Amino acid sequence: MAERMKMVSLVILGLILTSFGLKFLAMHELTFGGTAGLATVLTFLGTWSWGVLFFLANVPFFWMSFKKLGKWFTISSFMSIIGISIIRDALDLIPFFSVPMWLATILAGLCIGFGVTLVLNNGSSLGGIHILALYLDQKWNINRGITIFLCDLLIVIFAGLLVGWGNALLSIFTIFVASTIIGRYKKSPIKEAIQGVYSEVSSRTANEA
C-alpha cells in the first residue's frame, strides 16, 4: 500500500510539473507535441479550454491502450488525463507570474520532461502519443523519446503554419529538451507493475502456506 501511494503521489507531482510547463508555453503562443500540442493548437482556433480539447484528443487512443497495454494501465492513464486537464485549466483561473519567452522555453522543457517522466515511470501516461511510444518501446524496444520527438515535430509544423515559424522553432527546442529527459530517465512501468503484482501474490501464497 505504501509503495502504491508513493507511485500515485509521484504521478500527481508529474501532472503538476507538466501543467506548469504547458502554461509557460501558452503564455507566449508556443506549443508542444502530441495530443497536448494538438490541444494547444486547437485553442488558437476556438474558444474551448485546453483541458476539454486534450481529453477529446485522447479518446481514440484508449482502445489501443486497453488492448495492448492492459486494463489497469489504461485506467491509470485515463485518470491522469482527467487530472492534468483539471490542473492545466485551473492555472488559467489564477494569477501567474510572467517570464521572458527564452526562459519560458527552457522552463517548459524541464517541467514537461521531468513531469512526463514521473508519470510514465510510475505506471501511468498522458495518453495519445505517450501510449503509442510506450507500446513501441515494449514491443520493439524503440526508444520512446525518439517516438515522441518525431510525432511532436509534426504537430509543431502545423502550429508554425498558425502562429509563425519563429515560435515553432522555439517549440522544437522545448520538445528536444523534454524528449531528451524522457528518453534518458526511462524505465518500464508496465513490466515493473507486473513484477510487483507477481511478487505480492507470491508473498501472500508463501504466507498462507
Burial of 77 (0-12, 13-18, 19+ CB in 10 A): buried
Q: Under 8 Å CB-to-CB from 70, ≥6 apart: which residues?
A: 190
| Nearest residue to 138 via CA among 177, 194, 178, 180 | 194
Find where cell 477529446 sits: 56
**Burial track 185-206 (b if 16+ CB lie within 10 A, e otherwise):** ebeebbeebeeeeeeeeeeeee
The answer to whether the CB of 88 falls within 8 A of the CB of 51 is yes
Task: Return per-residue pLDDT of the chain as tens, 209 residues.
Answer: 788 888 899 999 999 999 999 999 988 888 887 888 888 888 888 789 999 999 998 887 777 777 777 788 888 888 999 999 999 999 998 888 888 999 999 999 999 999 999 998 988 888 777 677 777 887 788 887 788 778 877 887 888 887 788 888 888 899 889 988 988 886 654 444 434 433 443 444 344 44
The predicted model scores a pTM of 0.77
pLDDT of residue 194: 38
pLDDT of residue 187: 65
Look up residue 30 and give its amino acid.
L
